[in-house]
Chain A
């Protein structure tokens, strides 16, 4: 493609043929990849981090720079910094060392990456993206590489190689799909995480990650919503809910002595369609209050997501600390977490290891549902429960009065978000919930769901405005699977349990599968719930008429 894809193309749905005109098989006479320099294309990368963001978290080399410039304004000893840090991480992470050593380049991962499928850029094959790092590893840390150079697949870290690293580190969404197919479990996400950690040490980053990190650090959430504004946004939702249902819900904030602390991604407080999911939580909690739920929101720990994961292990730990610190300060017994993707990777695989000492001396204990008495034994160390686990348990015990026909206007499919699927295994809980709150549910093809699910194309901090072509290409495999059920069963609603999905999919659907909307699972739960004292419902949370009520409106 000569001209990059623009947001206007997405809105108008144009130039699809051009986007799809790609060839996944490099020609016989194509130059070897090591000698093919990186071509940094607009709309395929994100803007560089602004200096102010980096200063907030004391990150190195804050400056104004752009990937399109020749000079990236690096410190003079950048190579030394990177190679020293590389060496340290080889000792700190068995994954990193092993994944540098044992790949046989069997190619099983090659056509599994959504960014390769959508772009056909051979350096987006996970194996080759990893080779960008392995080549430098061999040159610096292995005998064969030092002696034989390119014959052993080794090369020096030059400025061009560094630029290539940066470009492809931000075309990987750390989704782990490749690791499912790798016979040795080599996980590109792990290499990307460590690669991003290395490049951050010399000030190479993107603003769509650096900004949320800085905001989250200072104000408690990625969007920089200050405490009073957070409250007023939820107040706006209270009004909306009252208009639709006739019931006034009353959330509480920063309340000491509550039994449960609720933490969800701030994206759901901020933009549609996440806002309706957030209203869903509020309605659910209101309903459960009379059954004994004692829950509070926090403005300090008002972010479930953790863009630290996309920056460095240390930054992830710094941001995550707020969850236990706030749980201890408020004296809650356990934490309930909202629908979010990478948040749950952090909670399930990192949080306890990183920060459980912060919970020492707190009131935290093994989570028990106050409504059903169910012990969440699978969370007895970390003490944090996923809201789909919580709600599935409520439904199983018949604690919710549900009228699934209120969702009859929907034909729903479910997108497994990468992290809950491949870093947790939360597959059946959301499906159980969905099947109980709506009558029309259709699965996408088996090679595109559950552990084989595709990324939305904007995970791991790539959901910026400026990289729209990258998102449309990376999201193509998912969109294609949605298109299949849209055409076969008339699916008109793509449900998911991830705030980034909810932000990315509306654009993606508009472009590739017009006619499919996006929802969180708890929006559908709330729409199906029959509330005490509700008025006669004619519309759902989106103010769309419920099935069967359209005609009566004309009367």
Chain B
């Protein structure tokens, strides 16, 4: 699918979702559907779907131990390995856990990223390119902060860390209500990830509607959230009544919540429900990646392949049968029909 069509399809899809929620609540007054039923269904879909996914992956066999080794192997005792070697070419559980922590929390592999510069006359260079790493780090961590901040709506009393996060997040105390940097950064990072897909020719060519859709969705989430907090000043007390109702399984739909909130929660619901069916499963999948989460120790400990089956081989006996005469003539040792050794005089 061409980039223009992909962009149209995915942005229209997100816009359509907004329209559905708007018409559903403003026109048809389906507050219960959008405020209670759909969120419940979405959360159920998310958990059941993700667990199903992980179980499906877990059920697949791991026939071979094939880590991508990115450092010096463990070998002769005097060949020193640095900490980087020990983490990038791990032997043993501790090192593997270390490698996974770096991968999951710090995006270690992405940090290696380089950028090709292909000039004329064999002028080929690989420049350091940390922008993708930086953009991804900002994107994922601000998303996490925003999620944690939302615990305010789902807990009573709030966990101790929520006010701390809010305080740090609103450190500069600009604007009323206090501006959270995380929301702005999330929007900026998502925009960056979107723009690089559209501007870079290679990215444009490989991107699918399935790549643009989640970005548009997240931008939609962020926009409705920002509008509610800073512009239209949603009725936070009523919203908390609704959200607390959801988590305590005694759902209520208070009067007077603006339609914007229902659009926001509908987009959130779609996001959650979409998760297990999409590339967003990378969140769980990264933990299971067999090129990262195993030791490079297959010469030290035998790894067992659960479906290892016997195969047809060409035995030495069959080989010798075919070449025996030639082997004897060439003076090569044979098992059968060897010439009698000369008797000692």
* Residues of A near any B CB (own CB < 8 A): 16-17, 20, 22, 24-34, 58, 90-98, 101-108, 110-112, 117, 120, 122, 125, 127-128, 131, 142-144, 150-153, 176, 179-187, 190, 217-220, 226-228, 231-232, 253-256, 299-300, 313-314, 317-318, 321-322, 325-326, 329, 347-350, 352-354, 356, 374, 376-382, 384, 389, 392-393, 396, 421-429, 432, 445, 447-448, 451-452, 476-477, 479-480, 483, 512
Contacts and interface: CB of A to CB of B under 8 A. Distances in A.
Given A26-B204, A105-B208, A183-B103, A381 B299 contact: yes
A440 to B, nearest CB: 23
Contacts of B329: 228
A349 B315 CA distance: 24
B330 A107 contact: no
Interface of B: 1-3, 5-6, 9, 53, 56-57, 59-66, 68-76, 78-79, 85, 88-89, 103, 107, 109-110, 112-116, 118, 120-122, 124, 126, 132, 136, 196, 200-211, 277-279, 281-282, 285-286, 288-292, 296, 298-305, 307-308, 311-316, 319-320, 322-323, 326-327, 329-333
Summarize A's interface: helix, strand, loop or mixed: helix
A33 B109 contact: no
Contacts, number: 328
Nearest to A254: B333
A70 B207 CA distance: 31
A458 B207 CA distance: 30
B210 A152 contact: yes
Contacts of A105: 203, 206-208, 211, 279
Given A392-B76, A429-B76, A93 B63 contact: yes
A353 B289 contact: no
A110 B330 contact: no
A349 B65 contact: yes
A477 B114 CA distance: 14
B201 A93 contact: no
A555 to B, nearest CB: 43
Which of B103, B210, B291, B307 has the most chain A CB atoms closer than 10 A to its own CB? B291
A239 to B, nearest CB: 16
Contacts of A380: 299-300
B76 A180 contact: no
Contacts of B61: 91-94
A554 B312 CA distance: 61
B152 to A, nearest CB: 30
A125 B79 contact: no
Contacts of A26: 201-202, 204-205
A181 B113 contact: yes
B326 A176 contact: no
Given A107-B203, A184-B289, A392-B76, A24 B118 contact: yes
A102 B282 CA distance: 5
Contacts of A107: 132, 196, 200, 202-203, 206
Contact of B327 (A30, A227, A392): A227
Contact of A321 (B6, B311, B327): B311
A451 B307 contact: no
Contacts of A153: 1, 208-210
Contacts of B327: 227-228, 299
Nearest to A189: B66
A227 B318 CA distance: 13
B299 A382 contact: yes
Contacts of A322: 313-314, 316
A180 B112 contact: yes
Contacts of A127: 206
9 closest A-B pairs by beta carbon, nearest first, are: A25-B201, A425-B73, A228-B330, A102-B285, A185-B291, A111-B116, A94-B60, A425-B69, A185-B292
Contact of A92 (B60, B114, B121): B60
Given A31-B2, A428-B79, A451 B69 contact: yes
B203 to A, nearest CB: 5
Which of B2, B66, B70, B196 has the most chain A CB atoms closer than 10 A to its own CB? B66
Given A91-B60, A94-B62, A325-B313, A353 B298 contact: yes
A25 B71 contact: no
Given A150-B1, A153-B210, A384 B299 contact: yes
Contacts of B300: 377-381
Given A94-B60, A325-B313, A396-B78, 17 more contacts: A25-B202, A26-B201, A94-B290, A95-B66, A98-B57, A101-B53, A102-B282, A106-B136, A107-B202, A117-B124, A180-B109, A181-B113, A186-B291, A228-B330, A299-B327, A314-B311, A378-B300
Nearest to A27: B201
Which of B2, B120, B326 has the most chain A CB atoms closer than 10 A to its own CB? B2
Contacts of A329: 316
Contacts of B331: 231
11 contacts: A32-B1, A92-B60, A94-B290, A98-B288, A181-B109, A228-B330, A318-B312, A321-B311, A353-B308, A389-B75, A427-B72
Nearest to B289: A185
Contacts of B210: 152-153
A217 B113 CA distance: 42
Given A94-B61, A110-B206, A356-B302, A25 B69 contact: no
A92 B308 CA distance: 10
A101 B327 CA distance: 53
Nearest to A232: B330
B286 to A, nearest CB: 5
A120 B116 CA distance: 12
Nearest to B126: A447
A72 B14 CA distance: 44
A212 B71 CA distance: 32
A25 B205 CA distance: 9
Given A422-B69, A422-B70, A448-B126, A185 B200 contact: no
A20 B122 contact: yes
Contacts of B1: 32, 34, 150-151, 153
A349 B207 contact: no
Contacts of A101: 53, 57, 279, 281, 285
Nearest to B1: A32
Contact of B291 (A33, A95, A256): A95
B60 A97 contact: yes
A108 B276 CA distance: 23
Contacts of A131: 206
Given A185-B289, A228-B327, A424-B296, A176 B200 contact: no
A448 B315 CA distance: 42
B24 to A, nearest CB: 23
Given A101-B281, A253-B332, A91 B59 contact: yes
A79 B152 CA distance: 54
